Amino acid sequence: MSEALGFVGVGKMGGPMGTRLIESGHRLTVYDIREEAMAPLTARGAGRANSSREVADAADIVFFSLPEPKDVQGEAIGDEGVIAGARAKILVELSTTGPRVIGIVAEALARKGITVVDAPVSGGVAGASKGTLAVMASGADEAMQRVAPLLKIFGKLFIVGEKPGQGQVMKLANNLLSATSLAVTAEAMVMGVKAGLDPKIMIDVINSGTGRNSASETKFPIAILPRRFAYGFATGLMEKDVSLCLDEANALHVPMFIGPAVRSIWQLAKQELGAESDYTEIIRCLERRAGVEVGSAE
């Protein structure tokens, strides 16, 4: 009989990942502070819990997909967290917390005999739905062997280390690059349009040349040029990830010169557009100042 699974945080990312577990034949118990987030999964047969503690009472392995480090810490080791549950022995952390928070959580849970597998993911909502995420996992070998087949349901598994926190560092490095490519491509595109270039032709040229990146290949054609701005990741979360990356670089005494500039534009976007705005809307900050619009809804 397969192990019982639990999932805390079944929103934009957690919902599709939880659905994939159910579709793969696994028993699942879910908890989210929003009833509407749980509804699609309970309709598919998932059990409904009222707290992370209840999830940990019902499941052998609990997955987390939560927006902020403080949420992860509270739901893991708070009074009604996984630490208070009676059954769970492994917590798989899929969120982006930074290595220090995951270290605090792992140390506290270890005292209760619960092992943490640090496994942040990249690939967005589309990747979560299709099972094409990049999963960057670190943790003890025995626990990793138990959860590896489950993580492969979400996408391609990369085991990057043997201790919690190493997966977080890998994710922060990835997201710094992602944040940089989107911001700098937006700058280049606004400049080109201001000079009279066609933005669609610009993207075609960039994607055929050395400037090609994840923003030019996917975010501009899908979300920015058609003015949809619905790629599925929040501006506030990207600003958080960049800040966590710079915090870690500072803690490691690693100099960063480009990173602070990237953080500054994401802080501006969060301030002007709101934390909940889609992160592809960052280009609006530049468009306003340049007096142009990149793409059209036609």
Catalytic center residues? 171
CB of 260 within 8 A of CB of 242? no
CA–centroid distance for 262 within its chain: 18
CA 103 to chain centre: 18
User: Residue 42: which of 59, 62, 22, 66 has the closest Cα?
Assistant: 22
Beta bridge partner(s), residue 155: 133
H runs (alpha helix) in 155-221: 166-194, 199-208, 214
Distances (CA, A) of 32 to 8, 14, 125, 262: 6, 10, 17, 32
Q: How far apart are CA 43 and CA 186, in angstroms?
A: 41
Dig out the tokens for 116 from the structure. 């943490």
Which residues neighbour 8 within 8 Å (Cβ) at sequence distance 6 or greater?
14, 30, 31, 32, 52, 55, 62, 63, 64, 65, 66, 75, 82
Encoded tokens for 105: 């959580």
Any residues with CB less than 8 A from the CB of 264 and at least 6 apart, and which? none
Distance from C-alpha of 13 to C-alpha of 280, rounded to nearest angstrom: 17
Strand-pairing partners, residue 138, are 118, 161
Helices (H) and strands (E) in the chain, counts: 13, 9
At 30, which amino acid appears?
A: V
